[in-house]
Structure formats: C-alpha cells, structure tokens
Structure 1
Amino acid sequence: MVDDNKTPESLVSKEINVIEGAQLDARPVPTLDEPDLPHGMLGRVLVKLNIAQNGASVVIKSALFFVLIAFLPLLVLCIFQGTALPGSVKVPLLGDAITLSRLLLVAPILMLSDLLTRPWLIKVAEHFLGTFIEAEDVDDYKSMFKGVFMIRNSVLIDGCLFVLAFVSSIFQASMVVALDISSWQLVGIHSHPVLSIPGWWNAAISQPLFRFVILSWSFDYLLWVYFLFKVSRFKLKVIATHPDGAGGLAFVSVAQTPFCVSAFALSAAISSVVAHAVLYTHMKLQSFTNLGIVFLALMLLIFVGPLVVFTPTLLRTKLKSVFSFGALCHEMSTLFAAKWLVPRAEGDPKILDSADSSALADLNSSYVTMSSMRPFIFNHKFVMTFAVASALPALPLVATVMPLKDILMQILKALT
C-alpha cells in the first residue's frame, strides 16, 4: 500500500512549497535608497553655475557643453584660417575622421549613454535586494552598494582623471607635429611645422576633454563591474527551475544590454583611426584585419566578460539541484509505479480521475528546466548584440571591399 502522505501529488506540492518558500519569504521586501549618483566633474560645474539641474538635464547639457567647448571653437578658427574645407590642406577639419568622430560622436554618445544605463543600474540593485539577498545580508548589501558608488563622488578621483587626460594629450600634440602631412592642425609644413591656432586649441582643450570623458566613462563602468563582482560574493537565492534558464539572474544581462551603445561609440573611435589611415596614408583596409579581430574580442571581453562572475553560483546551484531533483523524481516515479502500474480491481480509482499523472508531468517538466540551466546568465543573442554594435561603425569601411548587401545578410543571419 502506498502511504497517502507520500503520493506523487503530495511530493510535488511539498517541493513547490519549498521552492516558493525559498523564493518568496514572508519578510517585507526591503527598499534601496537611490544614492545621489554623480554625473562627473562637468556635471557638477553645470549644476553649480545653475546651467542645469540634477537629473537628465545634467547629462544632456553636459554633452552640449562639451561640443560647444571642444568642437565649435575649432570650426570657427579653421574657417578663419581657411582649413575647414578641402583645398588649402590635405587634411581639413571637416575631412578629419578622427577629430569629427571623437568630438561629435564618441564623446557625446558616451555621455548621453548614462541616460540609458543609470536607470537599469538602480533596477538591478533593487531587484537583487528584494529577491536574491538573504534577510541577514540586507544591511551588508545596502552598505556595499552605497560604498561602491559613492566612490564616484570623490573630487580627488575627478582631479586625477583630469590631470591624466591633459598629460596624455601632450604626447598626442608631439605626434601631430611629427606627421609629414599638411593638416588643419599645422602651419609651416615644409619647414619646421608647428601647431596652428586651432591645433593648439585641439591639443590644449579639445583632446584633453575627450580623454577626460573616456576616462570618466571607463571609471564609472569599472565601478559597475566591481558592483557585480561584489554581488556575486553574496549568498544569492538562485532557483534552478527558473524559466529564464539562468536561475533567475538573466535580468542582469538585460540591464547590461544598453551598454551596447557605449560599445558602438568606442568602436567608432577605432574605426575613425582606420578610416583616416586608409584615406590619407593609402594603407590597405585588409592590413587592419587582425586589429579588427583583436578589437572585437576585446569589446566582448569588456562588456560580456564581467557577467561570468555569476557562473560559479549557477554551476553550484545546478549541481546541487541535479541530486535533489534526481532523488525526488526517483521517489515519485517509484510511488507512481507502485500505485498505478500494478493489476487493479474494477472498483479502484481511475488514473484519469487522479492528479498523480499531472503531478508527475509537472515534476518532470521542472527537471527538464533545471537540467537545461545555462552556466552563463546570457545567451548567444546577447553576445551577438555586442558583436554587431562593435562592428557597425566599421560597416562603411568594409563596404569599400565587400558588397553592402552581403554584409547585411551576414549580420541578419548572425542575429537570427
């Protein structure tokens, strides 16, 4: 005789209660006070000058302010100098792919990308707190969150980044003077070339500001990566049967996806250097193939690699669940066989009137979901999103040696 307390239906009900208890306990869901995440030195200056208020206006006006300071004076000076358009020099300002992409595309996109990434950062932090952090770890988690991102409030950090940006620009000015090519940045190209007035502005103001934006964004992104690493050290309530195939952690990859805009911007910076070399030094595009492969791998390492910190948690959870669910499925299948796969009298209950078969199917479905759990919180489409975003700026260059139709077909094939 089968014990009524150990029927297949009761076992599944018990397992579901255990899972739900682990996922949704009775304690009130804690809240996470959103810190006053700073917008960097430029944003602080605009706020103090009452040019912008805290929020989205700081980001938008910071990007506009950057263009007004870094590019507009160059354009005006080059117009007066006569080097804005082709004719007087081989590399005019409006034909300088590197300068145009850096000042009008790369830096503004990186600054404006904060509007996309910041809200997701807060959502991820709150979701971890409300769903995955144990009750006894709540205070430690809040303290960690505040401590990590308040580092960005440091004026010392901004100062160091600012100095580093200006010091690194000195070497670029020396490289420009050493180039044997007529450019809007130089005068006296045939005898002792020196920086022109717009060249001095570019070396002293525009390029240092560009480097400061790059360094500031990089530092902010490193803080985000460090936050993910710190979270992965907590005991997270990961559920192997979660339908997202990542123990419930797939939301992190969703929040990481907006960074593909930043990947596009960084790739545009590199593509502009290649375009400049192809246009003005007559180098062949094919000679940059290895550089493109290395850069694409680097982009995937930067934007996809940090999510691997959750892989040990996923592997431990799956390994543990294989044994626990395996034992439960074995016990349930044994009870099901003992109850239904034996000779039965005419008056015995019919299997169609029992919930046992449905319970067995539900448990088997849970086991299949658990066994298909991925070792990573992302899938191949996530990886392809960053690969395409990183490769997109190079599309016009590649189109010069490969039909655009074939390129688009390859991209669509990779995304499907």
Structure 2
Amino acid sequence: MDVPASLLDFSLIQGSALGWRRSLARPRGSASRSLRILVLTLVGWLPLLVLSLLQGGPSVSHAFLRDLGIHVEFLVSLPLLIAAERYIDLSLAAAVRQFLVSELIGPKDLATFEGVARGVMRLRRGAAIEAGLLVASFAVSFMDLPHQANPVWLHSEPGGPRTLAGWWYLVVSMPLIRFLVLRWLWRGILWAGFLFRVSRLPLVLVPTHPDVAGGLGFLGTCQASFALIVLAVSSTLTAQRLSRAPSANFTDYALHLFAFALLSLVVVFAPLAFFSRQLLFAKRRGDHAFSGVAAWHSRRFEQRWFHREPPAGQELLGAPEFSSLVDLGSSFSVARRMRWFPVDIRAAVAVLGAAMAPMVPLLLADRRFIEVLVALAKSVL
C-alpha cells in the first residue's frame, strides 16, 4: 500500500509553536544538532562554573566542582536528550509508514488512520501545551518539594543568600533541563495516544508472520529507540545519588538502578499492550484455522502414503507431499508461537541495558569489585 503524502513527513519532533525552538530545537542536520547541543550545554553549565569560581568563594567553588550530579546532568544527559531527537523521530516515522507498507491497515480504514496521524501532529504544534511545559519548568524551580536536596553551592553559607551561580541554576539551568524532560514526556504521551487510537482500528494481523507478533514486531524495535532517553535520565539519577550519598555501598546503587530499570521497561513498552487484545484474537483464529488445515492435510497425507499403495511410478524420496507437510508444519509452529505482546528480547534488553549502564562506572569505582577483577585476572593468567 502506498503511503499518503501527508504521512511522508510524519514527525513528533520537527515543528513547534514557540518561535525560539524553531531556531534552537528543530533538527536540520547533524551540524545544527551539534551546535544546539553546544549552545544549550554552555548556557546551562558554563555560567554555573564561572559564577561559582568568581563569586562563591573557595567553599562554594569546591562544592560545585565536586557536584557530580550537576556535571552529568548538563554534560551527559542534556546532550543525550537533544541528540536522541533525530534518531527517535526517524524510528517513529518509520513505524507509522510500516503500518501501511505491511498492509496492517485495511483500505476502508486508511482515512481514519491518516486522520489520527494528522491529529497527533496538530497536538504537537500546540502553543498552549508547550507554553504550559515552559511555565511548569520555571514554577518547579521555586517550589519547596519534599525530600528535595539542594546543592550546597546554591548558597554562600548555610541559610545565607543565594550565590549568583545559585540564581542562574534556579532561573536558567534547572528550567532548561526540566523543559527538555517534560517535552519528551509530552511526546511520549502523544505517541502512546496515537498507538491507542490505532489499536482501536481493525488491524489485518497475520498469525504466520515471521516476527511472531502478527506483523507488529516493528513496534518493539520502535519503542526501544526511547532507550536513549532512559539512559539520559538514569545517568542523572545515578550521579545525583552518588554525589549526595557517596558513602553508600554498591548494593544500594544497584537496587535503585534495578528498580528504575524495571520502571523504564513498564513505561516504554506499556503502550504496546493496547494491541494485545487484537493479537490474542488473531492468535486464536490462527490456531483454529491452521488446526483445521493441518488436520485435513495430514489426514490425506497418511491416506496417500500409509494406508494404501504409493502412486505408481512415484518415488517416496522427493515426493512433493512431504515438502508441503514440512511447510505447513513450519507455518503452524509460527502461528502457535505468536506473541500477544509485540516485544522481543532484544528490544527489552536495549532499554534494560540503557537503564543499567550507569552501573558500569560505579562498578569500576568500587574497590571490592576491582579486587575481585584483579583476583580473577591472576587466576586466569
């Protein structure tokens, strides 16, 4: 099925209601993305460094330089949140086209599918939503949230006035990183809404499809592209916890990372559960249909070769009936193994690995782990 022209430029990233984002946040090539990453990183992190060194005094500057959470947040997570835009956008657009290329959408539902996609893109361009995200990003900076640990370098002394670096962090840096995260959350909600509405359409699922997901296996790969966002958030959370509780043992970090990894799996792949009902019904239909065909074919195969004399002049070796029986058995096995949740192990491992990746430097920083590695190396060598 040909892809309508209106869906060839499907995107949840490009285009914006805010004029400043058109110049800074709209992807127009790798050079532009690199420039945006550099500019936003310098805006968010460099003034904090300069102001803490110039105005904060030795204690403030030393506290800032030792704040691993801030450095990872703006030098690792922020670039990842921006760099992931192009990759994820291409994955989502390819998934939208795949619904049509694979003929999962029937001709009579094509107009509805196209309307759903266009509706999502209209919401993406909504000025009110992005303005609300921007306001929320600033508002959170001035809220005293429970269990919120403020960096020491925000104040010149405990209970004293804020430093210039503290004000910059409050008014510029923190709203910037929060806006990027909230914007990705909004995009995820838009994409989940799109999947939900598509799952309400009568999809043309194929129980014998090799992806054992009725032809929807591409959705698992598409969702796995959000692993970059998971990595960005996981890196920040781990670094912040490490900077605020440096004396905690490795087990504490591992447990928190593992909990975050499980939460990430649920959040990333939960929208695919919308298709489970249709997949389950398609699997049942496939089981019943193939059981009938397999019974009919196998019965005639046995009658032909086992319950009477073989046809005259036809050798048993190389008879086409045996080949057709094998082909039918393979198709029946694929239909029987059809999953009701279109996620394969590789997609799950990609998200799980992204969530657990910050554990690697923690392992290397753990003295006991290094001792174990040294002991293993000595025993092997």
Question: What interval of TM-score do these two structures reach, taking the shorter chain for normalisation?
Answer: 0.7 to 0.9
Counterpart mapping for 1:5-20 below 5 A: none
Match of 1:33 in 2: 8
The normalised TM-score by structure 1 is 0.80
Residue in structure 1 matched with residue 180 of structure 2 by the alignment: 213
* From 85, 94, 115, the counterpart of 1:143: 115
2:54 corresponds to = 80
RMSD: 2.9
Asked if structure 2 preserves the Cα contact closer than 8 Å seen for 1:40 and 1:158, the reply is no
Pairing of 1:86-125 with structure 2 (within 5 A): 88-89=59-60, 91-125=62-96
Uncovered stretches (5+) of structure 2, i.e. residues with no partner = 374-381
Shift of 1:371: 1.2
Structure 2 residue aligned with 1:313: 278
Deviation for aligned residue 1:315: 1.4
How far 1:380 sits from its partner (Å)?
2.4
Contact 2:231 2:354 (8 Å CA) reproduced: yes
Quote the Cα distance in structure 1 between the aligned partners of 2:197 and 2:35.
33
Quick one: structure 1 residues 94 and 139, their matched pair in 2 at CA, closer, same or farther if it must change by over 3 Å?
Answer: same
**Alpha-carbon deviation of 1:220?**
0.9
Alignment correspondent of 2:344: 379
Q: Say whether the 8 Å CA contact 1:107–1:214 is kept in structure 2.
A: no
Alignment of 1:224 with 2:174, yes or no, is: no
Post-superposition offset of 1:101: 1.6
Contact map agreement 2:154 2:166 (CA 8 A) in 1? yes
Q: How many residues align?
A: 369
1:354 positional shift:
4.0
Q: Is the 8 Å Cα contact of residues 70 and 205 (structure 1) preserved in structure 2?
A: yes
The letter of the residue matching 2:63 is P
Do the aligned residues in 2 keep the contact of 1:97 with 1:275 (CA within 8 Å)?
Answer: yes
Q: Deviation at 1:187? A: 1.0
Of residues 193, 205, 215, the one that matches 1:248 is: 215
**Inter-CA distance 390–243: structure 2 relative to 1 (3 Å threshold):** same
* Unmatched tracts of structure 1, length 5 or more: 1-26, 408-416
Contact 1:173–1:203 (8 Å) recurs in 2 = no
Structure 2 CA distance for partners of 1:347 and 1:392, relative to 1, 3 Å: closer
Q: How does 1:187-206 map to 2 (within 5 A)?
A: 187-189=156-158, 192-206=159-173
Change (3 A) 1:54 1:261: closer
The 10-residue stretch of structure 1 (339-348 or 114-123) with the greater mean CA deviation from structure 2: 339-348
Query: Using the alignment, how far apart are the partners of 1:296 and 1:238 within structure 2?
Result: 31
Match status 1:126 vs 2:101: no
Tell me if the contact between 1:278 and 1:285 (Cα under 8 Å) persists in the aligned partners. Answer: no
Question: Does residue 393 of the first structure (1) align with residue 335 of the second (2)?
Answer: no
Amino acid at match of 1:186: H
Cα gap change, 1:126/1:97 in structure 2, threshold over 3 Å: closer, same or farther? Answer: same
The alignment partner of 2:213 has SS state of coil
Q: For residue 342 of structure 1, what is the aligned residue in structure 2?
A: 307
Task: Please tell me whether the aligned partners of residues 96 and 276 of structure 1 are also in contact (alpha carbons under 8 angstroms).
Answer: yes
How many percent identity over aligned positions?
26
The structural deviation recorded for 1:286 is 4.0
Aligned residues of 1:47 and 1:58 also touching (Cα < 8 A)? no
What code does the residue aligned with 1:67 have? T
User: Offset of 1:203 from its aligned partner?
Assistant: 0.7
- Assess, with a 3 A threshold, how the Cα gap between structure 1 residues 136 and 331 changes in structure 2: closer, same or farther: same
Classify 1:302/1:174 alpha carbon distance in 2 versus 1 (closer, same or farther; 3 Å): closer
Structure 1 or 2, whichever has the larger Rg, is 1
